[in-house]
Amino acid sequence: MYKYEISRKIEEFAPIEIQEDWDCSGWAVNVEGYDEIRKIMLCLTVTDDVVKQAKEQNCDMIVSHHPMFCINCHSELVSKSFIPQINIYCAHTNLDKANGGTTDTIIEKLGLSQYKIKIEHDFLRVIDYETTVEDFSDLIKKISPNARLVNNKSVQGFKRIAFCAGSGSEFIEQAQELGADCLVTGDLKFHRALDSKIAVYDVGHFESEIIVLPVFERIIGDEVEIVYACEKSPFAQI
């Protein structure tokens, strides 16, 4: 499969022009002469270990969610011998914003797709869904067993819930303004949690985004072999 056919399919789903100004989605490494793709490795983040896995499995291309600026690839294997020989393509904030992208995947995985998206705002998806805190917490555990809950107002239930995959704590106020009494996101910091006037679930950055990789697989199709990188959250339960 021609590599630009792969990038075209991804960009039809998640147009590159809708990415944030600070983002660098698209071709991270575009190797001249390596145009025919037979095997792709999908990953959340391009790390030294992921590139090593791709080499060991004879992949011609890596497709990741996180762009290359998110992590340093500094090993001798990566910097001197392998990256120049593999194509790397990233779809980051454009995939977050796309219909059916990263945030929508959380809603799908929670089994809430039947609830029509009430509001789309920046990276947020908002649904009207009435539930108790206890029941919704059990639902959240399906995608993140170690999720944390901030509930400063000690509410017992929710009627409108906002979702933002990845690091979305900056949208707490926007979620509240849109009438949400709960936000599901990741990477929640202490002072954001302390100040929040709505409930917030921190499901973890990794847990909220790793579930989007099958979306890449569906977009690319079955004309090329696809494998998944072995990845895990850097945070371990103790």
* pLDDT (average), residues 29-42: 94
Predicted confidence band of residue 85 (pLDDT cuts 50, 70, 90): confident
Q: Is 32 exposed, middle or buried (0-12, 13-18, 19+ CB in 10 A)?
A: exposed
Q: Which domains does the chain have, with CATH numbers?
A: 3-95 (3.40.1390.30), 102-206 (3.40.1390.30)
Decide if 179 contacts 137 (C-beta within 8 A): no
Phi-psi region of 158 (alpha: psi -120 to 50; beta: other; left: phi over 0): beta
Buried/exposed 152-182: b ≥16 CB within 10 Å, e otherwise: eeeeeebebbbbbbbbbbebbebbbebebbb
Helices (H) and strands (E) in the chain, counts: 10, 11
* pLDDT (average), residues 153-157: 97
Q: Tell me, what's the pLDDT at 118?
A: 86
pTM of the model: 0.91
* pLDDT (average), residues 4-32: 95
